[in-house]
Structure 1
């Protein structure tokens, strides 16, 4: 098989769709013409989220004509985070930590892709990073600015695959730097920084973000031996703070940091992945702060907000072990309910001591308040009448 005239190498941490667009444009062709007519791949490409699970047929065609190994191409996809950020990436539907694209034909109804304007400005050849699809990546690890999701001029989501669509429409040099709709240079977007008063949690979040591309760096050994349970717990805590039961937690955190944390509008408690970058960033920083000095800080916050175990998760079995253990040990405010067998055993204990079984003595023996002691005595008398 003859290699393509131009076959640029994938950039560091580049996402598959970005490289596929650059590959077509480097060979001087619009996307549909390049993949359908030139490479002969007739199946739909851009109406799907190809950064999740591209078809083997597509990858095989690209591999043969570009000289890139199949494993290299697969490493450009979001499935490369499996076993680290999440257990499995589903073929379709929303997935934890992945910003949804909201695909409708070839258009994007939701953000889907973020960008750092300063990274695009620094790039000799502009390209989009794989980690920019992650909701966890709300801040650029290099420039520490909040990630952007929409064109600052026309508010259109980033969709670099739509460059060159339309009769007579040229593909600009460095196309990925520009908005496909209004041609504004995205790299000139003014960067936005968040003021956060607590330096340690800020540094820990930056280190956590950097670990996304360095899976060997273990920042969560206190919580879990691997990444998946740690990130599951982080997402649960974010959901709790930003959920319908988290008003007290949000209020306390807002007073601590002097900044709004989460959303108090009951109609706008979206999944974390559907929130804007700034809102995601404040929630992440708050949770990372809570996990420092774990679980003392979190328990103090729960005490102030009168937050109990039952509010932590609707399905308690879904909690990772490190979070479930903490909740069972420190947040469980449920009273222990004595079984009938325990009450009967206490009654026989008193009889063996030659004492008359009264509700008062049952209460003292079992450590029960007045009403519970009377209820226990009724169970005793019903068994011994």
Structure 2
């Protein structure tokens, strides 16, 4: 959302008699000022003024479902077509992710619901793009997917834990928009056979040159995590337990039990999305610091320690998936129902640039 920096969010408390869940927002993105001025400012007049900002958020994130669907048919589609599908979906998402904030501000419909949807959908979007990238480069090496997803989830978690702890949300100079620009250039190059062959050549040992892009993404995510951890000085225990759960879940799904990659991805994202959603909601509503789901944590630790021949992998993963899905649906339902008065289907007044 293109807010001035620094900017004190004013809309997170609708009742002046209650304490505010406002936070200080700073954005030091290298590309955002230029992209906002050159690209998003020109796109915004084309957006229907009656279209609610929350719908823009959901539509732009929903466009990324095409990446998941295309990944099921990636071998039939061919590498160039698959890359173009991801490229188009990513551009639609990036545009919507910025236009929703502009639409909300122009129509006077900013709300805690919009703030939650905007930031929470980013987690799903990032994880979908990570999976699509991994499928595009040939699903190798196997360990790359859990590493990408793990860093993505932990990066989001610590970002919003910092917002809750310090009442501040900081976006670094090299963040999401810069990562999107790098991946955009990579997808464009992948459409050409010569460049695609160059990317697939060995870099070190059996690792292809595509690891340069993946490694850069991991380094950027790790940098965000380290910087925020240093600002926190004392990392909350619930966050440490959550990180341990994510690491153990990745180990159990991808290495110990050899779960199907898409299912393992879905299980990890569900676990991360549930915790991050509750962290976001607790900050906005001034509730106590939430803990990660202890049932999930205990189940995952058991999967990592119980002898493999004593585990029915299919039944165990199915039960864990159902549990996480039900829990996440309940979490989202409670959050969205509590803010139902902020849902807007059609803007009541014209949105002006």
TM-score bracket, normalised by the shorter chain, equals under 0.3
The TM-score normalised by the length of structure 2 is 0.27
Structure number having the greater helix percentage: 2
Q: Which has the larger radius of gyration?
A: 1
Relative contact order, higher structure (CA 8 A, sep 6+): 2
